Structure 1
Amino acid sequence: MELKIEHLTKKYKDKTAADDVNLTITPGIWGLLGANGAGKTTLMRMIAGIMRPTSGCVKFDGVNIESLGGAYRDIFGYLPQEFGFYPEFTVQDYLEYVAALKGLTKKNTRDKIEELLTRLTLEDVRRKKIVKLSGGMKRRVGIAQALLNEPEVLILDEPTSGLDPGERVRFRNLLSEFAQNRIVLISTHIVPDVEYIAFRNAIMKDGGIVSEGTTEELVGIMEGKVWSTEMPQCDVHKAEQKAKVVNLRNISGSVVFVRYLSEEKIFPDSIEEQPRLEDLYLWLFPQEEAGKEGVR
């Protein structure tokens, strides 16, 4: 099984949202990382077949998805950033409606809905209208509809938006089980969502893929570029002007632990740290904010 993206480009009048993207996606969980505006959603919509590219194509097992038509939709699951539903739909109504659109039998619909409501802890709200649910619960309903037909190709755009930490862990575990012999592509800017479960990751910036590989391979790019030191809190502002500071933590009194990114040691007594995938993300997207624990 293979999903091949060949020279995929999407241009608007004054912007190129996806620029000659090439990527071969094989079974397993893949992460598509990038800052907001990097082009991830545009790429996802073209892979889903709901947006036509300006040029290039997407092939499933060697066949253009435009030629496959309904056969591709039968084996496809998709969670967009925002999914639509009629205001009067309850969770149960909506899932039954989507199951009918996907051609599931009544028995399969009943069994699959029960399974997903349980796995996603939605049993207690099955009769509630979706419009009245919290953001996290709505997101779980969206995840459920994407999984209804047990798709061979599952595309998830920012799937954990609105989920609390416990829900995100359960979701990652669910995906890890589901991804056996299936293609799962997760678009996100929340690095921990893919760092430990993704088979491979692609990093998108300015409409193109700038890096691709296993987590270990990508983390290796940051070897020798991650440092830590301790300094008085009053010196932090000056430190931030010299280096990309990615974490701060109060140690005691006015002393602060500082983790920073740099091609070389900048501050005295700095020690080299083991890099993480988040470090590469912040290296490539320096405008993004890292969590600065303990400092306000």
Structure 2
Amino acid sequence: MKALSLFSGIGGIDLACEWVGIETVAFCEREPFCQRVLRKHWPNVPIYDDVCTLTKERLDADGIGPIELIHGGYPCQPFSSSGLRRGKADDRHLWPEVKRLLEEVRPRWFIGENVAGHITLGLDEVLADLDDIGYAAQSFSIPSIAVNADHERERVFIIANTERSGRTGVLCPELATNEEPYPHWATNALDARSHPIPRMEQSLGEPSLFRSDDGLPDRMDRSLISPRLKALGNAVNPYQVYPILVAIKQIDDLLKDTGEGQ
């Protein structure tokens, strides 16, 4: 399974993809510090620096594909409760570019990530857009504390799959009913202590995600302008998205085995 990574940051989602056997075939990230981190750990994966100029034609010309998953945490500033919450009026509102790429590339799967404030601003539009372009989608609000972190860091994850002729558009029965705080299809993957996953600090060479009481890792440069601090603040916790990727990989493999995922 091959993935295109948008708004890649320091590769949090990509690290989780690696854990479950999903290959990242291209990054799209503009920040120089994040690009250096990505090149260090994925030296053979190309990096595009502008989602607004990235197209299927360009990917095809570079021999990248086929792409079965697009994922990314599109900018949160238009929706974050810590900002002005200008939504579409914010020039950092880049969801339309994600939608365009989904229409052009047509991957089977999409994962979007954003802050909890997206629930009350913009999420309905995203879900409606996905439906309009032929994707069945469902959103989940998952805090980092649900995967044994010691901070809340609530995030919204949007999971979408292309609808198929004769199917109801529901991703799977388990995804159709989410009555538990955390989806029960993911519970077996939640306990990182019982699963052979490397710690984040060992994998990316970056400061640990496990923070001190003031919220900052002990080895972190505490300057407010530190690119490392900014990158970590924008990063997706790989443990948080890992159970979602486990489920997607299992479902996709099953559909391929039954001939429906071709």
Question: TM-score, normalising length from structure 1?
Answer: 0.26
Relative to total residues, which structure has the larger strand share, 1 or 2? 1
Question: TM-score, normalising length from structure 2?
Answer: 0.29
Relative to total residues, which structure has the larger helix share, 1 or 2? 2
Q: Which has the larger radius of gyration?
A: 1
